[in-house]
Chains A and B, each alone.
Chain A
Amino acid sequence: MIDSLFLINHSGDIFLEKHWKSVISRSVCDYFFEAKEKAVDPENVAPVLQTPHHYLISIYRDKIFFLSAIQTEVPPLFVIEFLHRVGDTFLDYFGECSETVIKDNVVIVYELLEEMLDNGFPLATESNVLKEMIKPPNILRSVVNTLTGGSNVGNTLPTGQLSNVPWRRAGVKYTNNEAYFDVIEEIDAILDKSGTTVFAEIQGVIEACVRLTGMPDLTLSFMNPRLLDDVSFHPCVRFKRWESERVLSFIPPDGNFTLMSYQVSSQNLVAIPVYVKQNISFLEAGSCGRLDITIGPKQTMGKTVEGLMVTVHMPKAVLTVNLTATQGTHTYDLATKVLVWDIGKLNPQKLPNLRGSLSMQPGAPKPEEYPSLNIDLKIQQLAISGLKVSRLDMYGEKYKPFKGVKYLTKAGKFQVRT
């Protein structure tokens, strides 16, 4: 299925190549470079390219292109998903997924790739299984290994690979048994000029951090499970029980994982936590414009809005800005024309305001378009959809674990049109 993989950095150097079938010359990447050149922006390179003998499927993440060469029909999503899994695995092993880190750990990377794919078909992709076959690097082990000539490679088959619970390894032990769940919701919204909601939706995930001894069997139930429309689960969740009782019953993987993700549909009314009053204008005569933005709380359910930030992609013609903010700091990147206003905590008594003038390139015509505002915010201890966890029960083990649930609301793709 997947014949070869090339890792290419931002400037177009191939810094790693791996072939699972016959070697494909790296000149095949030239077609990709051509497309990349044309697209200007790396995000705009088409993920699937056709060349005379191969198909190239690529993803772009963490400033690296993961480019795979394919020879026969294969569902493109299959490949894209796999490439992202490779990226995730690097992230998991090395804490980041960057060119330097991959170059530094090239041997482990190679061993991983060898294990993840066999003849182009995925072999072992569960992080649990991989970690038992190839140990992640850490300083202590590398010191010990250099002294003793020991190795990073396990010599027995990981238990997870064969068991019916492939996501959990056997013999987990902790002195402190704890299970934490974070309910994180993101508001995706488009507001129009007058502040009316054009489109709003809530995307939620439950991130779990479970460190429990043995083989615990957990049941998580909600106060109001009916809110959740479209759900997708980690493979460990028993779907039948969700369907019949609306509870999440599962044997958790060890460590951090995403238990479920859900969507609260656009049919329900979505609370919008802030309102934005803005006025951006460019004067016809003279080369300047005016900007005035005020943000205030709307439906915050009595919680404080934190980490408030406004990002504006200004038109090319805007040279510099001369603004004053009543709260927070603002920066304007002259090269990318991005204005960032970092507000911080929203004080309902004294609304933050940013106003001033924009100086334009002399002689340039008045920009046709008005930039839209991207809002970023955080609200602690609140799931904006109203979702609440009612209880967590554990079966199968004797001890009493620490349990905790945290809620967080964030702005996802929250955009105000002007």
Chain B
Amino acid sequence: MKEETRPCVIPGCFSARRHDDLKEMLDSNKDSLKLEAMKRIVAMIARGKNASDLFPAVVKNVACKNIEVKKLVYVYLVRYAEEQQDLALLSISTFQRGLKDPNQLIRASALRVLSSIRVTIIVPIMMLAIKEAASDMSPYVRKTAAHAIPKLYSLDPEQKDQLIEVIEKLLADKTTLVAGSVVMAFEEVCPERIDLIHKNYRKLCNLLIDVEEWGQVVIINMLTRYARTQFLNPNINVSRVQNWVYSLFRAVSLPIEQSHDAALIYTAIRKILICCLTHVHVSCFSEVQYVVLQNVATMTIKRRGMFEPYLKSFYIRSTDPTQIKILKLEVLTNLANETNISTILREFQTYIKSMDKDFVAATIQAIGRCATNIGEVRDTCLNGLVQLLSNRDELVVAESVVVIKKLLQMQPEKHSDIIKHMAKLTDNIQVPMARASILWLIGEYCEHVPKIAPDVLRKMAKSFTNEEDIVKLQIINLAAKLYLTNSKQTKLLTQYVLNLAKYDQNYDIRDRARFIRQLIVPTEKSGALSKYAKKLFLALKPAPVLESPFKDRDHFQLGSLSHLLNAKAGGYQELPDWPEAAPDPSVRNVEVKESVRAVGTVTYRDTGALWGLQGPQKMEGSEGCSFRRTIAPSSALKSYELLHRITGEGLSVEYCFSRQPFIPDANMVAVQVHFTNNSTSDTKSLHMEDVKLQSGMRVKEFPEIELLPAGETATAVMGIDFCDSTQTANFQLCTHTRKFFVSIQPPVGELMRPFFMTENEFKKEQGQLMGMNEITEKLTLDVKCRNEHAIVQKVTTAANLSRVPCGSDKECRFAGRTVTSSSLVLVTVATKDQGAAQLTVNCEKMVIGTMLVKDILLALTQ
């Protein structure tokens, strides 16, 4: 520190001379000398020494050819440019040149340094550079651009609007490298612009698994907030913790957007739990344990059940650091209930013998809390604590006294012997807090110990002058109470104590003495209050509630800094409450081009690795064979052909069931029709005509497509009410020149929409759909779908159903309602050993039931 300040005290002369050799080296022609000088300068910076006077000499080298010298100059510039703005401007042109360099690494580092030198004058240049870099070929440069956005924003918040444009552009980026960084920029610059996310929501969810871990954290945080504003609360009764997990899970996993699946929530909670637990154990880093345990402690308050099976994981080892011990103790206390209290108390008994006194004190408090919360063990705890009163360590005794005081307040009449025992302790115990507690107890319950109380006061009056302040206050208190109940014996003593207090050094004590004297000793001047003195002093006091310090923490988001500190940190964003009404889900629908090879069920990681092998360039080059489709919330949607391009003379048409509600009419099934014009001429006025339907069926035609240029594609949505039957809808597809007869026949699984119900509701409804309405089939599952996940996947692909949470893992249940008549469709797949399984379908509409059985059977056995 001393050395460092020296150059500041004598600026120029002394330090300049000292750095002369460095300047010489920097001015030389040899790169090796320059490098040596720069290394020494960087070492100075690292040690925190001032090297700012070398600025002119260093900045000259910014254009140096040697890449390492250049890098070190950058390090120097970033550190000192803010202090020497004018000189720093000299280097700008080099960076501008760097931004145009063919090497992406150089472009990126130029942008990084340019955006890191906080010089206000160059804001416009930075803005320009960021905009340019945002559309750079290299994802690495685009990532750097995303990093530069918050830098510029903190330098000049006025640029916000322009920066948001850049963010919007980068959000649309499809590379994992960029995703994390741009979301970070989004969170820092414009977290309120949630509308920017809509279009990218599903893409981000898909990319999430492949983004690097730091990006994942940021994206998950953002998606959690997003889910909270865009989806309905799945269940009003679930606690905040569950809610939080649910938001998270909803955010990351698309399938549940359709099926309100509570089972998945529980799996998610379990997963997080296990993460927590593994961290508590495996992590050799006590810092990680510290943070995780803080969060666990909060969760255990409301959701004790989740952690109860893992009670033993929180047992304390003598080698744990004290702060970890205390947190584990907190968790154990929160987990205590009637069934496990005996085990926990036995554990606590071993802890009391520990050498770590702070920890012992915390254990005693924990015992006190267990005793208040669980009535059955109150007496056991109290006895245990009384035994501790004879402990040799004063701290232990003191802590026990304080806790016993709190416990006794709950039922004083039963425990006058304990009070007597404690009265005896005043002779030995020196810890002020404990003495004060004992005195308060005796005063409060003096009628239980009428003989001892005056004697204690006598002793205390003797030692009054040597006591600590809190003890003195309690002595005055005791005196006042005794004066009121037993004035014959204690009148003189009280006078004496009050006199001593009157001349005490502490004004608080003097003040109290004066106040009490006025209240209890009747004089002619004393006011109306002294009549009520007894009521004032001997009022029944409510027993204290021993609460966890983590009680009120759950209004902060778990895992956040604010939660840990229990105080709002700068930049903390509240997690909004679930919306009352569901915002429009269609905002997330996007049309994307996707390669045929990207099959929906394969994760990006797997395919990513494959592409890595084949070379990434293939992905972009294959647009010719790509087709368009809406990203479906669940697995890939199956497309059916409506018109082949040969029969359609260049016009090919496909359709699929988008499984989204058809907005104009809820009783219709949404059918997404997809046109591709493969011919060389334009197709005009595409529309429907001459719809032939069975009775009862209805069709809402898609709006006419006026022009479909050659080689282009278009998508339209139509609605068909199939009347819960698989009858075909026939119609003519007309262009400006021709008419084609086409027909749409729905698979039975598309005639329903998911319906959310609980396990109990499911069982109840199933009970009412027995007999004729129930169809059961035995089957042998295909080797590939012998796990729960595969079964769910297969069934939900075959039919538009939602999963019903279920306690056993041997059974999968699904529920839905038919679109037109809203009849319930219940499906159960019960698995047995060796792939044997039983499929049950309960449905009022027997035809639908039979057909559904066939379809699901096919899906599960193939």
Known A-B contacts A59-B285, A261-B282, A368-B393; the reply to A123 vs B350 at CB < 8 A is no
Which residues does chain A contribute within 8 Å of B221, judged by CB atoms?
A: 75
| B68→A151 contact, CB < 8 A | yes
Q: For the complex, what is the distance from the CA of A415 to the CA of B277, rounded to whole Å?
A: 19
Which residues does chain B contribute within 8 Å of A149, judged by CB atoms?
A: 30-32, 35, 66
When the two chains form the complex, which single residue of A23, A55, A76, A190 contacts B291, counting CB atoms closer than 8 Å?
A: A76
Which residues does chain A contribute within 8 Å of B108, judged by CB atoms?
A: 157
Asked if A293 CB lies within 8 Å of chain B CBs, one says no
| B46→A238 contact, CB < 8 A | no
| A155→B67 contact, CB < 8 A | yes
Which chain A residue has the least Cβ–Cβ distance from B139?
A: A162
Q: For the complex, what is the distance from the CA of A41 to the CA of B39, rounded to whole Å?
A: 36
Using a CB-CB cutoff of 8 Å, which residues 374-414 of chain B contact chain A? 391-393
Using a CB-CB cutoff of 8 Å, which residues 611-653 of chain B contact chain A? 611-613, 616
Known A-B contacts A125-B212, A157-B104; the reply to A50 vs B177 at CB < 8 A is no
When the two chains form the complex, which single residue of B75, B570, B605 contacts A73, counting CB atoms closer than 8 Å?
A: B570
Using a CB-CB cutoff of 8 Å, which residues 222-263 of chain A contact chain B? 229-230, 232, 235, 238-241, 243-244, 251, 261, 263
Asked if B415 CB lies within 8 Å of chain A CBs, one says no
| A315→B355 contact, CB < 8 A | yes
Q: For the complex, what is the distance from the CA of A77 to the CA of B296, rounded to whole Å?
A: 14
| B287→A59 contact, CB < 8 A | yes
Which residues does chain B contribute within 8 Å of A48, judged by CB atoms?
A: 290-291, 561, 564-565
Asked if B154 CB lies within 8 Å of chain A CBs, one says yes
| A107→B42 contact, CB < 8 A | yes
Asked if B664 CB lies within 8 Å of chain A CBs, one says no
| B177→A162 contact, CB < 8 A | yes
Asked if B602 CB lies within 8 Å of chain A CBs, one says yes
Asked if A174 CB lies within 8 Å of chain B CBs, one says no
Known A-B contacts A80-B285, A121-B184, A415-B318; the reply to A238 vs B570 at CB < 8 A is no
Binds B, one of A92-100, A197-205, A324-332: A197-205
When the two chains form the complex, which single residue of B32, B71, B147 contacts A146, counting CB atoms closer than 8 Å?
A: B32
Asked if A119 CB lies within 8 Å of chain B CBs, one says yes
User: Which size class do B's interface residues fall under?
Assistant: 35 or more
Using a CB-CB cutoff of 8 Å, which residues 279-336 of chain B contact chain A? 281-282, 285-288, 290-292, 310, 312-313, 315, 317-319, 321-323
Using a CB-CB cutoff of 8 Å, which residues 57-104 of chain A contact chain B? 58-61, 70-78, 80-82, 84
Which residues does chain B contribute within 8 Å of A126, judged by CB atoms?
A: 212
Asked if B847 CB lies within 8 Å of chain A CBs, one says no
Using a CB-CB cutoff of 8 Å, which residues 217-249 of chain B contact chain A? 217, 221
B 483-494 to A, binary, CB cutoff 8 A, 1 in contact else 0:
000000000000
Which residues does chain A contribute within 8 Å of B353, judged by CB atoms?
A: 368-370
Q: For the complex, what is the distance from the CA of A243 to the CA of B151, rounded to whole Å?
A: 42
| B560→A75 contact, CB < 8 A | yes
Which residues does chain A contribute within 8 Å of B39, judged by CB atoms?
A: 107
Which residues does chain A contribute within 8 Å of B75, judged by CB atoms?
A: 110-111, 114
Which residues does chain B contribute within 8 Å of A263, judged by CB atoms?
A: 274, 277-278, 281-282
Asked if B342 CB lies within 8 Å of chain A CBs, one says no
Chain B: minimal CB distance from A301 (Å):
23
Chain B: minimal CB distance from A56 (Å):
11
| A80→B140 contact, CB < 8 A | no
Q: For the complex, what is the distance from the CA of A198 to the CA of B32, rounded to whole Å?
A: 64
Chain B: minimal CB distance from A123 (Å):
7
Q: For the complex, what is the distance from the CA of A117 to the CA of B633, rounded to whole Å?
A: 36
Q: Interface majority SS on B: helix, strand, loop or mixed?
A: helix
Asked if A109 CB lies within 8 Å of chain B CBs, one says yes
Known A-B contacts A22-B118, A315-B355; the reply to A372 vs B318 at CB < 8 A is yes
Which residues does chain A contribute within 8 Å of B2, judged by CB atoms?
A: none
| A119→B570 contact, CB < 8 A | no
| A243→B787 contact, CB < 8 A | yes
Which chain A residue has the least Cβ–Cβ distance from B116?
A: A119
When the two chains form the complex, which single residue of B35, B48, B291 contacts A47, counting CB atoms closer than 8 Å?
A: B291
| B567→A156 contact, CB < 8 A | no
| A77→B177 contact, CB < 8 A | no
Q: For the complex, what is the distance from the CA of A122 to the CA of B180, rounded to whole Å?
A: 10
Which chain A residue has the least Cβ–Cβ distance from B559?
A: A75
Chain A: minimal CB distance from B12 (Å):
22
| B570→A44 contact, CB < 8 A | no
Which residues does chain B contribute within 8 Å of A21, judged by CB atoms?
A: 154
| B571→A72 contact, CB < 8 A | yes
Chain A: minimal CB distance from B299 (Å):
15
Q: For the complex, what is the distance from the CA of A111 to the CA of B353, rounded to whole Å?
A: 50
When the two chains form the complex, which single residue of A47, A192, A199 contacts B312, counting CB atoms closer than 8 Å?
A: A199
Known A-B contacts A50-B565, A123-B147; the reply to A156 vs B616 at CB < 8 A is no
Which chain B residue has the least Cβ–Cβ distance from A122?
A: B214
Which residues does chain B contribute within 8 Å of A16, judged by CB atoms?
A: 46-47
- How many residue-residue contacts, CB under 8 A, span A and B? 250
Q: For the complex, what is the distance from the CA of A118 to the CA of B185, rounded to whole Å?
A: 12
Known A-B contacts A155-B67, A156-B103, A203-B281; the reply to A80 vs B291 at CB < 8 A is yes
A 187-221 to B, binary, CB cutoff 8 A, 1 in contact else 0:
01010100000110101000000000001010000
| B564→A76 contact, CB < 8 A | yes
Known A-B contacts A146-B32, A156-B103; the reply to A75 vs B48 at CB < 8 A is no
| B105→A157 contact, CB < 8 A | yes
Asked if B124 CB lies within 8 Å of chain A CBs, one says no
When the two chains form the complex, which single residue of B66, B217, B606 contacts A240, counting CB atoms closer than 8 Å?
A: B606
Q: For the complex, what is the distance from the CA of A206 to the CA of B147, rounded to whole Å?
A: 36
| B611→A19 contact, CB < 8 A | no
Q: For the complex, what is the distance from the CA of A107 to the CA of B37, rounded to whole Å?
A: 11
| B392→A365 contact, CB < 8 A | yes
Which residues does chain B contribute within 8 Å of A152, judged by CB atoms?
A: 68
Q: For the complex, what is the distance from the CA of A107 to the CA of B32, rounded to whole Å?
A: 15
| B560→A163 contact, CB < 8 A | no
| A164→B318 contact, CB < 8 A | no
Asked if B437 CB lies within 8 Å of chain A CBs, one says no
Chain A: minimal CB distance from B787 (Å):
6
Q: For the complex, what is the distance from the CA of A46 to the CA of B569, rounded to whole Å?
A: 17
| A161→B214 contact, CB < 8 A | no
Asked if A313 CB lies within 8 Å of chain B CBs, one says yes
Q: For the complex, what is the distance from the CA of A78 to the CA of B291, rounded to whole Å?
A: 11
Chain A: minimal CB distance from B233 (Å):
24
| B355→A369 contact, CB < 8 A | yes
Asked if B789 CB lies within 8 Å of chain A CBs, one says yes
B 536-578 to A, binary, CB cutoff 8 A, 1 in contact else 0:
0000000000000000000000011110110101111100000
Which residues does chain B contribute within 8 Å of A80, judged by CB atoms?
A: 285, 287-288, 291
Which residues does chain B contribute within 8 Å of A198, judged by CB atoms?
A: 312, 315, 347
- Can you show 13 pairs from A to B with CB atoms below 8 A apart? A16-B47, A17-B46, A73-B560, A76-B291, A76-B559, A84-B285, A107-B39, A119-B116, A156-B103, A263-B274, A313-B318, A313-B355, A368-B391
Name the 5 nearest CB pairs between A and B, nearest first.
A72-B571, A151-B68, A164-B612, A149-B32, A164-B608
Q: Which residues of B contact A (CB under 8 A)?
A: 30-32, 35, 39, 42-43, 45-48, 66-69, 71-72, 74-75, 79, 82, 103-106, 108, 112, 115-116, 118, 138-140, 143-144, 147-148, 150-151, 154, 177, 181, 184, 210, 212-214, 217, 221, 274, 277-278, 281-282, 285-288, 290-292, 310, 312-313, 315, 317-319, 321-323, 347, 350, 353-355, 391-393, 559-562, 564-565, 567, 569-573, 602-603, 605-606, 608-609, 611-613, 616, 784, 787, 789-790
Taking A73-B573, A203-B282 as given, write out 8 further A-B residue pairs in contact, using a Cβ cutoff of 8 Å, ordered by the A residue number.
A44-B321, A46-B290, A110-B45, A123-B143, A151-B67, A162-B140, A188-B281, A190-B317
Q: Which residues of A contact B (CB under 8 A)?
A: 1, 14-19, 21-23, 26, 41, 43-44, 46-48, 50, 55, 58-61, 70-78, 80-82, 84, 106-107, 109-111, 114, 118-119, 121-123, 125-126, 146, 149, 151-157, 161-166, 188, 190, 192, 198-199, 201, 203, 215, 217, 229-230, 232, 235, 238-241, 243-244, 251, 261, 263, 266, 313, 315-316, 365, 368-372, 374, 396, 413, 415, 417
